[in-house]
Chain A
Amino acid sequence: MQEIVQGVPLQHYIWLSAILFSIGVMGVLYRRNAIIIFMCVELMLNAVNLMLVAFSRYHSGTTGSSAQVFVFFIMAVAAAEVAVGLAILMMVYRNTKSTDIDFLNRLKF
């Protein structure tokens, strides 16, 4: 397993996560549907996770694994956040019959 992971140069992992992150950002910027935006946010999150794991493997070898543990925490928190976020979306949809975020522009003074 160690060999397979390290067979790929670190740069490739960085590029992959940069691309995933950019896709996420673009998705959030261009899409109007709240659910899609939500998914894009998750994408960005996982791009970061990937980066963390890769760096952990390349820099600490087999001895250190704190970054990987850190990733598990991010996943757990993300899962909790998804639950809350989806619940909010659900309520928004019930009240407005729409998931278009341009419709939700009343959050101002």
Chain B
Amino acid sequence: MAQLAWLVPLFPLLGFVIIGLANRNLSKSVTTLIGSGSILASFVVSLLLFFEKVSQPTPTTVHLFDWITAGNFSAKFSFLIDPLSTIFLLVITGVGFLIHLYSSGYMHEDDGFRRFFAYLNLFVFFMLLLVMGDNFVVMFVGWEGVGLCSYLLIGYWFENTDYNNAAKKAFIMNRIGDLAFLIGIFLIYQHLGGIDFNTAFNITNLANLAKGNPSAITAITLCLFIGATGKSAQVPLFTWLPDAMAGPTPVSALIHAATMVTAGIYMIARSNALFSLAPLTQDIILYVGLGTALLTASIGLFQNDIKKVLAYSTVSQLGLMFAALGVGAYSAGVFHVVTHAFFKALLFLGAGSVIHGMGGEQDIRKMGGLRQSMPITFWTFVIGTVAISGIPPFAGFFSKDQILAEILAHKGIGITAVAMIVSLMTCFYMFRLLFLTFFGNFRGTQEQKHHLHESPLSMTIPLMVLAFLSTVGGFIGFPHGIGHEMGIHHWLDGFLAQSVVITPNHFTAGQEWTLIGVAVGLLAGIIFWAMKTYVTDGKIPVKDSEMEGLQKVIYDKYYVDETYNRLITKPLNQISSGISNFIETKIIDGGVNGIGHFTKWLSSGIRTIQTGNVDLYFFAMTISAMLILIIKLFDK
């Protein structure tokens, strides 16, 4: 069965080719059928692969063909099917399929419907390459490909200049990270002698390198991590993700929440053999992750755009996942990727449903009271909010709890408190969002009120499925201590043991209960506070112009964009324009023109010989030939 793994990326590729080429000739329903059907087919194959790995978890390599071979270097086009990649395959194709289905409803009135589906299928194809590749080069192809699709889809409504700029920003920010990733791959080849995972993560190879040249491992892992910060939106390259919300909402759900942005986590989890040998890099990952989580969670507290809140929440959750990777809890990080994919896709799709019902309005200050008119959206959104806040027994609780426990076990109470604050902030802004959107009185225009309606079935079915997954998804990673007492395995840790290092169990059931008790108590307090502020007191965030002090600083995202502009973009622009004014015009143009003038001057005398008279030329030629013969004759 594993030998058929190439079918998984093939279906979306075919979908892209067919929809992309036939474009105008396909009806919308046929496009939906091909676009969603191809992902569904991939999902079915992924499921089969997954069950095979459940019963037989040893990794399988599927070799398709030799791609690049030069000297000692060889990059094969082959796939690696192991527990880690099958988990990601399931998330990508499963959540991907639901979002495709949702898109068929959400984008139905859009002119570029077919283009949209073609891009989405292409994205899924590249994402599958990324997680299936059995060496860094194939992974890099997928890595670049998803960046491209992200660019295309953020700038999907290309008539709008702001959207185009957001797309360019995402692409350029990603490129900065990609460069570091590429250098990391070069270093891996230089120091470990191969770019396929088997060679690069070979235990004896790594042990030798760690003994002989430990700084090389630090350099490699740092480069890979910088690559991850670009793709997964961490400090300092995180600013593109909130802007990426310019794309259609299903895109935000699929690419900028559930799958693409988790590529960095996947890459680090995949390279865990390397990262485990670089304690310095691990510490950097932990602090960058926590810093990002804290920074963006605080920005999220004051945002008023429904998608922006979710975007900052995504960055902040990604920060938590990185923090887990930073303490060596790779399986906890992957676990949070999975549950996050469920509830964040659910929240984004719910937000899309709200925006759809509101006729394009995204400002939560103009919503309110949507509970009655959009019941399905409301209830699924509640589940998403509860899940992301980490309230048992919903999915987010298990994964976030495991991350907190791992941080506590490795770094003590101080660092854990930071992570705890992040998750409390998450809880607050998510409930703020929920209360402002669905409770109280409607604050939009009469026209919007009249227009309010529940979304069609093609949109609500994915919501319900995702809500179900957000509810039960956490049980794949039941806490060790408590589970041990109750006889429930931590299934995911066991499953991933073939792919990543699993940290041992740290806590007894009693300690875990305490941790959970503290967390739940604090969360309950926060929810109560949010409820009192936004429901009982009916407070509504003030207008942009009335903000002041710290609130304004945070609302304006700490002026990070402006700082980058001043420190990097402006100086770069000035240098470029200086170069274009001086070097381009004076040196390059001057040089080229100078050569021209010199040649012209040199030939000004000789060119009068060229009369254009063919007769004369031939005469000269004959005479010359004769002269040569005569000279030859006498020159004995």
Contact = CB atoms under 8 A, between A and B. Distances in A.
Contacts of B613: 102, 105
Nearest to A101: B614
Interface in A74-109: 101-102, 104-109
A28 B611 contact: no
A50 to B, nearest CB: 19
A35 interface: no
Nearest to B625: A25
A1 interface: no
B614 A109 contact: no
B440 to A, nearest CB: 84
Interface in B619-633: 619, 622
Interface string B596-636: 00000000000100111111001100100000000000000
B615 A101 contact: yes
A8 interface: no
Given A25-B622, A29-B622, A106 B612 contact: yes
Interface residues of B, number: 10
A102 B614 CA distance: 7
Contact of A108 (B611, B615, B618): B611
A107 B622 CA distance: 20
A109 B622 contact: no
Nearest to B622: A25
B615 A109 contact: no
Contacts of B610: 108-109
A35 to B, nearest CB: 14
Dominant secondary structure of chain B at its interface with chain A: helix
Max chain A C-beta neighbours (<10 A), residue from B610, B615, B618, B619: B615
Contact of A105 (B607, B611, B618): B611
Contacts of A28: 618
Contacts of A105: 611-614
B619 A107 contact: no
Given A25-B622, A29-B622, A107 B615 contact: no
Max chain A C-beta neighbours (<10 A), residue from B607, B613, B619: B613
A101 B612 CA distance: 10
A104 B618 contact: no
A29 B614 contact: no
A52 to B, nearest CB: 18
B615 A102 contact: yes
Nearest to A31: B615
Nearest to B603: A109
Contacts of B619: 29
Contacts of A25: 622
A49 B615 CA distance: 25
A109 B607 contact: yes
A108 B622 contact: no
A108 B612 contact: yes
A106 B612 CA distance: 5
Contacts of B614: 101, 104-105, 107
A105 B610 CA distance: 10
A107 B618 contact: no
A14 B610 CA distance: 36
B229 to A, nearest CB: 60
Nearest to A25: B622
Interface string A48-67: 00000000000000000000
Contacts of B612: 104-108
Nearest to A108: B612
A109 B606 CA distance: 11
B308 to A, nearest CB: 66
A25 B620 CA distance: 12
A71 B545 CA distance: 93
Interface string B228-247: 00000000000000000000
B160 to A, nearest CB: 53
Max chain B C-beta neighbours (<10 A), residue from A104, A106, A109: A109
Contacts of A32: 615
Nearest to B617: A107
A77 to B, nearest CB: 20
Nearest to B618: A28
Max chain B C-beta neighbours (<10 A), residue from A32, A104, A107: A107
A-B residue pairs, 4 tightest by C-beta: A108-B612, A105-B612, A108-B610, A107-B612
Interface of A: 25, 28-29, 32, 101-102, 104-109
Given A106-B612, A107-B614, 13 more contacts: A29-B615, A29-B618, A29-B619, A32-B615, A101-B614, A102-B613, A104-B612, A105-B611, A105-B612, A105-B614, A108-B607, A108-B610, A109-B610
26 contacts: A25-B622, A28-B618, A29-B615, A29-B618, A29-B619, A29-B622, A32-B615, A101-B614, A101-B615, A102-B613, A102-B615, A104-B612, A104-B614, A105-B611, A105-B612, A105-B613, A105-B614, A106-B612, A107-B612, A107-B614, A108-B607, A108-B610, A108-B611, A108-B612, A109-B607, A109-B610
